[in-house]
Amino acid sequence: MATGIDVPTVDILGVPIHQITERELLELLERRQAASQRTWLVTVNAELVIRARESREVAQTLGRADLLLADGSGIIWAARRLGGCLLEKLPGVEIAEKLVKWAAGTGLSVYFLGAKPGVAQEAAAKMQSKYPGFNIAGYRDGYFGNMEEEEVVAEIRGLAPDILLVALGAPRQELWIAKHFNELQVGMAVGVGGSFDVWSGRVKRAPAWMSDHGLEWLYRLATDPRRIGRMLALPRFVYQVVCTKLTGR
Ligand code: UDP
């Protein structure tokens, strides 16, 4: 875990989630930005925890991030059971939007990397009309091959954005950031999953009543049944949390 961040964590099946509210997070990021400290954020949901349990590479990658945030009802539920603590839900799409809003208020620049061709550009334009004032450092789709990877990194390094949003899906975006964070001249990097699809209007988020009842997964499954394979991580997550609670291991 990177040093310099004095925020308690709660262990969710081996992944240390920071106990931080949205307000505290934004204040912390402002302080770090003012002090020229670079920050890599990961928003962690139940599916990513299961991926970290299955893959040492993913687990080690998460261990290198500066801040691991509670993205989703599964993590909130597990934190209450395993750590007796009440976490604030910090969905990636909302944190990413807060970063853009902050950038608009302060003139910081944002690079949009990921999603299908045209989507990052559209997402950036939508955000700019909602939050005028931030500087679009650039955008690029997330369907590049290994041969183009160096070119992508060189472009971002050359532009040196304050904030890099990476929408390649988890854990690919986390592995990508881990691989390139040191060479990229970005102040802050965060994996934002399907946020560009949402901002561009291609994908709708679950209605509030469903999110409030922890049913985002059901909405996503109903609107995109191809996610069924990935969703099998959820019952496994619940089972492993219950076992850990019962056995204390
Ligand atoms: N994506 C991408 N490159 C790839 C695979 C996926 O840019 O090689 C994008 C995809 O178009 C989508 C996002 O990554 O915009 C993943 O969205 P999803 O909702 O699956 O994210 P998650 O559930 O991980 O938040």
Q: Could you give the domains of the chain?
A: 1-90+206-249 (no CATH), 107-203 (3.40.50.2300)
Query: How much is the pLDDT for 101?
Result: 98
Q: Which two tokens stand for residue 29?
A: 């990021």
Out of 10-24, 76-90, 191-205, 212-226, which region has the weakest mean confidence (pLDDT)? Answer: 212-226
Which ligand 1 atom sits nearest the alpha carbon of residue 119?
15
Residue nearest to atom 5 of ligand 1 (CA): 168
**Tokens 């307000």 sit on residue:** 23
Residue range 167-194: mean pLDDT, rounded: 97
Tally of CB atoms within 10 A around 230: 17
Instruction: Kindly give the interhelix angle for 46-54 and 56-64, rounded to the nearest 10 degrees.
Output: 120
Cβ 168 vs Cβ 151: under 8 Å: no
pTM for the structure as a whole: 0.96
The whole-number pLDDT of residue 1 equals 46
Write the pLDDT tens digit of every residue in 82-108: 999 999 999 999 999 999 999 999 999
Residue 87: which H helix or E strand, with range? none
% of the chain residues with pLDDT over 90: 92
* More reliable by pLDDT, 4 or 240: 240
C-alpha dihedral, 161 to 162 to 167 to 169, nearest 10°: 120
Residue nearest to atom 17 of ligand 1 (CA): 194
Nearest-angstrom CA–CA distance, 1 and 23: 22
Q: How far is the CA of 191 from the centre of ligand 1 (A)?
A: 10
110 neighbors 124 (Cβ within 8 angstroms): yes
Which residue CA neighbors atom 6 of ligand 1 most closely?
168
Mean pLDDT in residue range 124-130: 98
Q: Whose CA is nearest to atom 14 of ligand 1?
A: 168
* Average pLDDT for the chain: 95
Average pLDDT over residues 167-196: 97
Query: CB within 6 Å of ligand 1 — which residues?
Result: 114-116, 142-143, 167-170, 193-194, 196-197
| Average pLDDT of the residues in 24-53 | 97
Q: How many angstroms is it from 155 CA to the middle of ligand 1?
A: 21
